[in-house]
Structure 1
Amino acid sequence: MRALRMLLVIAVVLGGLFVVADRVAVNMAESEAADRIKVQEGTADSTDVSIKGFPFLTQAMSKQFDEVEIKLTGIETRAAGRPVRIDEMTADLFDVRVGEGYANAEAARAEGTARITYEDLTRAADDGVTVAYGQNGKVKVTGSVTLPLFGKITRSVVSTVSIVDGDTIRVRADRVPGEGIPGLEGEIRKKTDFDRKLGGLPAGLTLQKVEATPDGVVITVTGKDVELAG
């Protein structure tokens, strides 16, 4: 009995040491992976990586991970010559395969969301244009134009935001009050209607849909064969 108890104690101790070693290894790998994840044509303020599954060491030996979560904040890129900032992007990556020395990595499938604040969407719009939440899943866009005889005219329009071609955010006014002023609608639309191609996400991710919320526009992203590093 005493020998059996000793064996059980040893097994528990060894099991505990294995768990500790496994968690230390996964923490080191997560830190290394966060340093290696790249964004296209831009930079990110911070990158966090969480590797799921246990034990980690067996996944590391096979260089294949069932699920990895990533979170990027403050992604800075440009579109149409203007700055575009993605406040936050989170994604679940599945069947992640890594190369020798973690020099490159690719996920077979990915899904997640990205959020752009209205302040950052305003920066991406034309000069003098502001974008805010417009209630009921719409955005409110305000812009001014100057017309002969009428001077400066400012209009706030309720606009629909959508995704075009899997990489572009489109903002279009539902209607523009013209009040019988010739050419007013067209001139206002030149300010308030705009497309912005959204770069800065890991290669392979595409934009699926967008929803206007009180905290910003939330974009659903998905992808196949998503390149994370290399």
Structure 2
Amino acid sequence: MTTEERPYQDERPRSRRGRRVLVVLLVLLLGLVGLVVVADRVAAGVAERALTEQVREELAKEGVQAGPPEVEIGGFPFATQVLDGHYERISIRLTEVRGSVQGDVLALPTLDIDAYDVTAPLDTLRSGRGGVTAGSVTGTGTISYDSLAARLDQEGLQLGERDGRLAVTAPVELLGQRVPVSGTADITVDQGQVSLRFTDLTAEGMPNGSLVRALLSTFAEGISVDLPLPVLPFDLTVSEVRPLPEGLQVTAEAAEVPIHAAS
């Protein structure tokens, strides 16, 4: 063996040992990260269960009729939020939010609520006593067109979205003929009540005379209604209603909201 071969042979074992140490360190690091993630997720799960119970209690106190709430904590890491008692965002999903409307039932199949800048002290989550507040809350839900059409109680009437507006079609008796009528509605919101005012109705195949216009105006008045919405939780006030292909979307907002009022 020459002197030139020895350094090369001595270097190979050291290179293998270095790689083994690096692999071991990497495995340990990945394991540590995994433990941190698991612990973080456990902390979030505990907080979510506690918040779910407090949201359920608050809904009962407010008299809101809805299915069991689903609560999810947003932001990362969770554990520091739990310990600090301050959360970036908490999402609450409610199903079948209902309210009585003159004997009929107008329901929001789902109401998705996002609460931001939430203060929920750890002691409050542990004991169930004390207040949980949010800096701001937004809620979105969709009313199906079928439930709206049923409320209007007009045989054959159908509602939908057309070019961003609420559109209506219905068969109507005009001058002894049953003809398809179509048009759009203006939507306004006032004090938790949605007003639908149908305008610009046209009758297919009918002359645009004064008598036909008067009959269409009478029909439009008959299907123009005010629709009280279900009582919404957390002081949510409706700020916007807009037609979407899947239904009439309701957006509501509130600020400085008690998610769970202090006992």
Give the TM-score, by structure 2 length.
0.67
Flag structure 1 segments of 5+ consecutive residues without an equivalent. Answer: none
Change (3 A) 1:156 1:49: farther
Higher RCO (CA < 8 A, seq sep 6+): 1
Q: 1:172: Cα distance to partner?
A: 0.7
Q: 1:164: Cα distance to partner?
A: 1.8
Bigger Rg over Cα: 2
Partner of 1:31: 49
Q: Is the CA contact 1:121–1:131 (under 8 Å) kept in the aligned structure 2?
A: no
> Per-residue displacement from partner, 1:136-170 (whole Å, max 9, x unpaired)?
222234678999xx899887442324232252211
1:29-178 matches, within 5 Å, as 29-37=47-55, 38=59, 40-98=62-120, 100=124, 101-103=127-129, 104-123=131-150, 125-128=151-154, 130-141=157-168, 156-165=181-190, 167-176=192-201
**Separation in structure 1 between the aligned mates of residue 32 and residue 213 of structure 2, nearest angstrom:** 82
**Separation in structure 1 between the aligned mates of residue 100 and residue 88 of structure 2, nearest angstrom:** 33
Q: Is the CA contact 1:105–1:227 (under 8 Å) kept in the aligned structure 2?
A: yes
Flag structure 2 segments of 5+ consecutive residues without an equivalent. Answer: 1-20, 203-208
- For these two proteins, the number of residue pairs brought into alignment is 225
Identity of aligned residues (%): 27
Q: 1:66: Cα distance to partner?
A: 1.4
Change (3 A) 1:156 1:42: farther
**Separation in structure 1 between the aligned mates of residue 234 and residue 171 of structure 2, nearest angstrom:** 37
Q: 1:114: Cα distance to partner?
A: 1.6
- After superposition, the CA RMSD in angstroms is 3.8
Give the TM-score, by structure 1 length.
0.75
Change (3 A) 1:42 1:82: farther
Greater CA drift, 137-146 or 165-174: 137-146
Q: Is the CA contact 2:172–2:181 (under 8 Å) kept in the aligned structure 1?
A: no
Report the AA paired with residue 17 of structure 1: L
Q: Is the CA contact 2:170–2:180 (under 8 Å) kept in the aligned structure 1?
A: yes
Higher-helix-fraction structure? 2
Q: Which of 211, 215, 218 pairs up with 1:180? A: 211
